[in-house]
Structure 1
């Protein structure tokens, strides 16, 4: 199987190249011709691929001439659409980094292009492959927790510094609200099944990293669903730069019979390095990115989780769009 990584702009590109290059029966190639958004000192392009020991193509045309079976789009958010449409025009399945796009119109166009071409569009939401989430989902599905009343979620982290475009509203589509709301919104999209979001109320500010970036760095989003559940999502870049980990995702689900709590990245040992004068995090749990890639390339395991599809990615994007509209107006905004 031939798999190509299109663009190295996203921080996950390095991990995908590493994981793909280790998978039996997978040939991998990367291409990163659009490096204009890179900050001084950022390693991109051919040098990035050579550091990871993978083949490199100077252009996307060269990639598709190679004949990939699937591609993974890791460009800046605003550049997802042209790469997805390019892959669709060549009849190649796509795994697109989250969020699906920066506007609902772009997301809808991407879905339409993939439908017309008969190719699969998936969105990179690895947290749905967490064993902790699987336990929460099983408790809700079995009825043990009772009807879900409220959900409180936090997807916090440091402001992405290794790729400066994450805090560029034009290329990223926003800041923390765009970056971190969608992971929990995807979990709820899966957890609630056919239930759909009704309206969103959000507040954002730039108190953290004030003066460093133009995008919002803090946000709190409240989503009401048509099954009566209400969810709050803390999407802030609230971890200090000295924090021992890049971020985390926690979820508390309050049901009529039980309260369920999960931490998607709690399988790790925390300590302190005297040599480096900083905190340490040594993970030992499941690699969620690897599980997601295997599901995308080979299908879900028996009884296991599948990748999020383009329709689900669009639904989470609509929550984000309503959140920005609410933050501007100060009022709840209907979804869709």
Structure 2
């Protein structure tokens, strides 16, 4: 199977390339022509491909001329739409990094383009494949919790602009921490609640973290009301200390009528302390969520309980983000369009 990776802009691009290149029967080719937003110390393009040990071409046109069976889009958020539409025009299934786009309108246009071309549009939300989330999902589906009344979620992490400068460019990223870290939990709840819509969002944001260093919000807290009566909060802040051994994490507490469930998607780790470095260490083990997601995209969702997030769900998450920004501007809850 031929798989193309379009752009190295996203911090996840390297991990995706390494996983794809290690899969039996998968041939990888990369293209990364749009490096203009990169900082001088960011390694991109042919040099980065050489570090990863994969083939590289200088343009997206050359990559599609190669005849890929699937492509993965890892560009800046604002550049997702033209690349997804390019894949659709070539009749190629596409996995797009999250968020799907910077606006719900762009996301809807991407869904329409892929539907018209008869190709699959998937969104990179690997946490759906977390064993911790699947256990919560199974318990809710089985009625163990009773009706879910409330969810408290947190998706915190490093400030990614330190690795890829465009993450803090409002035009290329579409925003800051709210754009970057709302969508993972919004996607989990979209699946958990079987597509029950969000009816209103109240949000507050600030730039207390990294104040004066970046022009976007670095912290946010959202309250979501669902049509099924549940209320959820999402902490979407870039609040992980820069020198912490882990990039961040995703945790949820699900409160039901009969039970409360707690999950941490990335806490399969051995925690310790290194006398050599005089710092804490964390050694992860267990499921590789990116690998599970990529295999499901390449080979079909199979018999597992969840599949890769589709474009329609990606648009629903974008509507939550758009409503959150509107709420933060006006200082009150707003309806989700």
Normalised by the size of structure 1, how large is the TM-score?
0.99
Quote the residue 2:116 is aligned against: 116
Say yes or no: does 1:202 pair with 2:233. no
Take 1:81 and 1:303, find their aligned partners in 2: how far apart are those partners? Answer: 29
CA apart distance, 1:303: 3.1
Aligned partner of residue 280 in structure 1, secondary structure: strand
Identify unmatched segments of 5+ residues in structure 1: none
Root mean square deviation of aligned Cα: 0.8
Identify unmatched segments of 5+ residues in structure 2: none
Say yes or no: does 1:81 pair with 2:81. yes
Take 1:298 and 1:191, find their aligned partners in 2: how far apart are those partners? Answer: 24
Query: Are the counterparts in 2 of residues 180 and 236 from structure 1 also a CA contact under 8 Å?
Result: yes
Take 2:329 and 2:212, find their aligned partners in 1: how far apart are those partners? Answer: 20
Quote the residue 2:320 is aligned against: 319
Aligned partner of residue 228 in structure 1, secondary structure: coil
Quote the residue 1:15 is aligned against: 15
CA apart distance, 1:86: 0.4
Quote the residue 2:215 is aligned against: 214
Take 1:252 and 1:221, find their aligned partners in 2: how far apart are those partners? Answer: 15
Superposed structure 1 runs of 4+ greater than 4 Å apart: none
Quote the residue 1:68 is aligned against: 68
Query: Are the counterparts in 2 of residues 242 and 279 from structure 1 also a CA contact under 8 Å?
Result: no
In the TM superposition, what whole-angstrom CA distance separates every residue of 1:38-77 from its partner, at most 9, and x where no partner exists?
Answer: 1111100000000011010110000000000110000000
In terms of mean alpha carbon deviation, does 286-295 or 275-284 score higher? Answer: 275-284
Aligned partner of residue 282 in structure 1, secondary structure: strand
CA apart distance, 1:304: 3.2
In the TM superposition, what whole-angstrom CA distance separates every residue of 1:177-216 from its partner, at most 9, and x where no partner exists?
Answer: 0000000000000000031100100000000011110000
Quote the residue 1:135 is aligned against: 135
Quote the residue 1:303 is aligned against: 304
Query: Are the counterparts in 2 of residues 242 and 278 from structure 1 also a CA contact under 8 Å?
Result: no
In the TM superposition, what whole-angstrom CA distance separates every residue of 1:275-316 from its partner, at most 9, and x where no partner exists?
Answer: 334332210010000000000011123133210000000000
CA apart distance, 1:102: 0.3
Take 1:121 and 1:38, find their aligned partners in 2: how far apart are those partners? Answer: 27
Take 2:51 and 2:304, find their aligned partners in 1: how far apart are those partners? Answer: 37
Quote the residue 2:96 is aligned against: 96
Quote the residue 1:106 is aligned against: 106
